[in-house]
Structure 1
Amino acid sequence: MNLESYPPLFRKLLENQTYEVDPFEDAIKPVQDLDPVPVIDFQCLDQLEEKKKLGEACKDWGLFRLVNHEIPSIFFSQLQEEVKKLFSLEFETKQDAFNDSPLTYFWGTPALTSSGAALTRGTQNINWVEGLNIPMCQLSQCQPQQHPVLESFRFVLVEYGNRLSRIATTLFKAMTRNLNLNLHRVKSKSYISLPTGTIRVYRYPQCSNANINATLGMEVHTDSSVLSILSQDQAISGLEVLKDDEWLTVAPIPNTLIVNMGDMMQAMSDDEYKSVKHRVKLNKHNERISIGYFVFPYDDIVIESSKYKPFTYNDFRAQVEEDIKTFGYKIGLERFHLT
């Protein structure tokens, strides 16, 4: 572990870690057999049985695992390697490289909150994560002279974003067309804004100390998006979802994508689909990399629902930012419920 690549607050606590190895903890398990997450075949979305499975996953879980998505496994490996190279730079180098960049570097906090807030929250309340927030429409503005590693990273990320935008479009159309959403209100061309799609890359440190493991890599939250598509670390677990009041681990199965509903999809569907609560736990033995792609509505499109007051995504985002400043956390859709 290169401690110099982490923020100073992380270094102080990570350098004093103790390691306790459980000989049974790393035993090989048939992960595919243990993983309860619904599996959706991207190539079969027009088949009746797959439509039914997709609808059940969106309603009961708010999340599913996507297979046969046409992204080759070697591409995931390449993407992970580029992200690791970027995060392995010294902390100060990363800060300088992204100072005048459209990419936003953050740590100790979700991307919506400034990293400076982490210093006032206390070490037991921060999120043990560092990340980059990358608006796809601004990725072309990243210049290689900012740092050589950025150019190869940008090249791979552009290709990844293009692939996921096609997947997101296909999934959203399948949901609106086939799963009993109100089609006169929900039109894919009017709602999802691919130009404003955002990629966030996250690195979670390896943490073995008990006092550190009492914290989370990412606190419990729902996404504000329409859809979120996650490429997990291919081997390291950490993501957990809340299902029937129980936290379940989403297994890291190679060459699969995790798709979850966000707040905007829940509102569009009159709460028929669930914006799933999830969190990230730290791994005792390895740091973990994950890459999320988030699709939002156009800012000025009015979302109408029998459950909520009419609002735009711009209204929602402004309310979330205000609540975070006032209360320190996101309240979300509750702010727009009809009373």
Structure 2
Amino acid sequence: MDSEPPFQDAYKSLLEEQDNSKAVKLIDEFVEDCEVPVIDLSRLNGCNNEADKEECKKEIAKASKEWGFFQVVNHGIPQDVLQRMRREQVKLFRQPFQNKAAGKGDHKVSDLSGNNSYRWGTPTATCLKQLSWTEAFHIPITDVSNSAAGQPNRLSLTIKEFASTVSSLAQTIAEILAENLGLKSAFFTENCWPNTCYLRMNRYPPCPLPLKVFGLLPHTDSNFLTILYQDQVGGLQLVKDGRWVTVKPNPEALIINIGDLFQAWSNDAYKSVKHRVVTNGRVERFSVAYFFCPSYDTIIQSCKDGPRVYRKFSFREYREQVQEDVRTTGNKVGLPRFLLSEGQ
């Protein structure tokens, strides 16, 4: 049984736009490769002097302000954990499509929770530029922990180990960014717990229209931080100085990017930048993203004195507004919805 989602059948009318000249090229064939800042986190441990440690923290803050993205090496996540995570992910996506869609099979994420977390394509797409050529499993970390504690399997144990190590890294980065703003804040340890975060395993199948269909639509992330483990196929692009650039894969690195909540919390000191994934006409691409999120009731407001850029809001309110905008307009609006009016 075929493991591929039925993109060709489900989106036949959209794909046929190419035959009547309605389809436009969404992606420039020649987007410049760039080396996103690479930061060696080994300098944060006690084996190095204090000057090295402080310089590392400054590099993290600078990249978060100027790029909104950076890569980290010597990050403390064992290569064995990353390799096992990739193997389990590939086995999961190799399941027959019908099993994935129904949450069945021997190797399934529905074992981790009561609901099937599998998604593919964009059901609401009305044109090619709204279509994401991807399949994914969205997994709340709390479900992984409960499964591993109950009747663990290799998949749940691997995901739990990966999530716990990446969670610790996310807390470290968040605390460094808070400290750079002059805060010794317990905000993240008090509000961003393992059971408020989630994991998304992505697969981008080969696409017959690689310059006309996105793997993942241009967007910003709605959380505080995202930590990404990707393969070496490439395809991640971000906006830098008003133009799209391609992130060159680094086999030794994890990618970290700032989300909308951190931009609002920092009063625009750190930048949540638009990014996307482009498709490949020949080969598939895999990635795993860890989303560092607070509880839904957490209030987001500027941590800095002085004029505030955004009104305060809860994470629940933000998520609901994003979902409503996507449902009614087909696009995420995001932080501009929460700007303070002049004079407030």
Q: TM-score, normalised by structure 2?
A: 0.81
What is the match of residue 284 of structure 1?
281
For 1:8, the aligned partner's letter is P
Report deviation, 1:186.
Answer: 7.1
What is the match of residue 44 of structure 1?
43
Distance 2:121 2:280 in 1: 16
2:66 is matched with which residue: 60, 63, 77? 60
* SS across alignment from 1:275: coil
Is residue 231 of structure 1 aligned with residue 233 of structure 2? no
* SS across alignment from 1:82: helix
1:160-205 CA distances to partner (integer Å, 9 max, x unpaired)?
000011111111111111x125x38773233423321100011001
8 Å contact kept, 2:132–2:215: yes
> Would the alpha carbon gap of residues 292 and 257 (structure 1) be closer, same or farther in structure 2, given more than 3 Å must change?
same
What is the match of residue 78 of structure 2?
72
Unaligned runs of 5+ residues in structure 1 are 17-33, 110-115
1:37-84 CA distances to partner (integer Å, 9 max, x unpaired)?
111222224612212211110000001001111122232222111111
For 1:127, the aligned partner's letter is S
1:257-295 CA distances to partner (integer Å, 9 max, x unpaired)?
000000000001000000011000112331000000001
What is the match of residue 253 of structure 1?
250
* SS across alignment from 1:117: coil
What is the match of residue 140 of structure 2?
135
Report deviation, 1:321.
Answer: 1.3
> Would the alpha carbon gap of residues 244 and 259 (structure 1) be closer, same or farther in structure 2, given more than 3 Å must change?
same
What is the match of residue 203 of structure 1?
203
For 2:199, the aligned partner's letter is I
Aligned sequence identity (%): 37
Unaligned runs of 5+ residues in structure 2 are 16-32, 45-49, 104-108, 303-307
1:105 is matched with which residue: 118, 138, 144? 118
Distance 1:299 1:125 in 2: 27
Distance 1:124 1:222 in 2: 17
1:320 is matched with which residue: 319, 322, 325? 322
Distance 2:277 2:170 in 1: 23
How many pairs align? 303
Report deviation, 1:212.
Answer: 4.5
8 Å contact kept, 1:200–1:292: yes
> Would the alpha carbon gap of residues 13 and 314 (structure 1) be closer, same or farther in structure 2, given more than 3 Å must change?
closer
8 Å contact kept, 2:257–2:272: yes
What is the match of residue 174 of structure 1?
176
For 1:80, the aligned partner's letter is R
Q: TM-score, normalised by structure 1?
A: 0.82
For 1:53, the aligned partner's letter is E
